[in-house]
Chains A and B, each alone.
Chain A
Amino acid sequence: MKDKWVQIGEKVADILDIPLETVIDWPGIAMSGNKSLVIQNHLGIIEYDQELIRVNTKLGEIRITGSSLSLLVAYKEEIVIEGRIGGVQLVDWR
């Protein structure tokens, strides 16, 4: 059922020429240099320490590695990660 709604959302976004994340609540990832990373529409934090943060999303897991990582903001709709980001990996994405 969910996949069907996703397909409809994709078609609507394509016809109206609007960004996909505004129609479907897919995770949005925005990086500013290697200093900060914003993740929208997340489903919670799986693991958190100074060198690794794992964030769960609808499509899979996001692994952020680096050093001195901290959660600048942790809201329901978005999280902002700050620090020296070394890598961003998408694990088991559909």
Chain B
Amino acid sequence: MLNRIVAFLTGYLLIIVRGPYLEKFINLMTNSGLRIWDVKWLGEGVLESKIRAGSFLRCRHLFRQVGVVVKIHRKTGWPFLWQKMVKRKTFFLGAVGCLSLILYLSTFVWVIRIDGLRGAEKIQLQKNLAKSGLYPGISREKLLKEKRLMEQETILRTPKASWLGISLSGVVANVRVIPRKTSQKAKINRQLVANSAGVVQKVITIRGTPLVKEGDSVVAGDLLIDGVEWYLDPDTGELAQKKTAAVGRVIARVWEEWEIVEPRVRWQQVWRKKVATEYKVRLGRRLWSIISLGQQTAQSKGYRWRKTLYQSRNPLNNVEIIKDVWYEHKWQQKRRSLAAMKKAALKELQQKQHNYSAPGKQQFVSQSRRWILQKDFLKLQITVELLREIAVVRK
């Protein structure tokens, strides 16, 4: 093969040799170090052979010596091709231009193959890929640079895909998609019922048949949205029903009773003098005591102050200085005034409201308060009016 490539580059001739002593011709050629190949017997006293173009002139005396007639049948190889090209400049320029155009166009992606999705999902993925920057005509260099980003953006835009990978093969971008496995079908004939009593304010039915309307009063356990759907049977022309999983929201006005009790007498912790201080250093999981001042007792209670000197990614490997301080303390009764009790009750109410309100789930409409003062307690009774979703799935 190598000989043939060299022969093409240096140029070779297809010659036809006629004469009585062809074997002698072959032997003389080979013994002179000249290479001939593809020697074919054409007939009595005639054969064809290939010979390098440069060797032909050197062996003319051999032809005469043997007494054969040699005729050049064809000239092949790059030197002859080049001569032809030089004569046909326009053709040569056209060939060079065509080659350059092919090379230039091969720096772009022209075909996008998607494997893993079909139908409408595939078309949607093509649109998402185009939004992420992968479209026919994008340069290969840009695609290779931003491939990772494109993959991540497309996955975010395509909920049907759980994984997506782009690979480049020539001018073809292969997009391999692993589709997301859908969850099991919703339980059929699912019904939505009320979880508390109230007055319905809004009914949003996505699937199923609503059994309540705005203004209806319901109690806990009442059916709100039934898991059936009505349709016109094309065979019989009559209304028929089929079971389905009810989906929807029912917003209702509900009332709740809260009670907050504040005792007049409370136990309070009183701190006395400092009894002990200890400084420590923690290196990773080891703890060393540096200085310890004073003596801690059974009644003393302490708090810890710490300063981190080296913050590791693993908190267990941090280096920090720790200061432990112990105080004497004792519990004592404290009698509060009415104003202090009210203030504490209102603070607790505020905290409860804060904890109770969840955005999108429920909102406070109004409240009425009643204060009841007893011998050792102050009671705060509140009736709260809320707008809340009351529909829950019947178990």
Contacts and interface: CB of A to CB of B under 8 A. Distances in A.
Given A74-B30, A76-B30, A45 B37 contact: no
Interface residues of B, number: 18
Interface string A60-92: 000000000111111110010000000000000
A70 B41 contact: yes
Contact of A47 (B23, B29, B36, B49): B23
Bin chain A's interface residue count.
Answer: 10 to 19
Given A45-B23, A45-B26, A70 B36 contact: no
A76 B26 contact: no
A9 interface: no
Nearest to B47: A48
A34 interface: no
Nearest to B48: A70
Contact of B27 (A45, A49, A50, A69): A45
Nearest to A73: B37
Q: Is the interface of B mostly helix, strand, loop or mixed?
A: mixed
Contacts of B40: 70-71
A47 B30 CA distance: 15
B37 A74 contact: yes
A44 B33 CA distance: 13
A66 B27 CA distance: 21
A92 B232 CA distance: 105
Most chain B CB inside 10 Å of its own CB: which residue of A69, A70, A72, A79: A70
Interface string B39-53: 111000001010000
Given A50-B41, A69-B41, A70-B41, A44 B35 contact: no
21 contacts: A44-B27, A44-B30, A45-B23, A45-B26, A46-B23, A48-B26, A48-B39, A48-B41, A71-B36, A71-B38, A71-B40, A71-B49, A72-B37, A73-B3, A73-B35, A74-B26, A74-B39, A74-B49, A75-B30, A75-B35, A76-B30
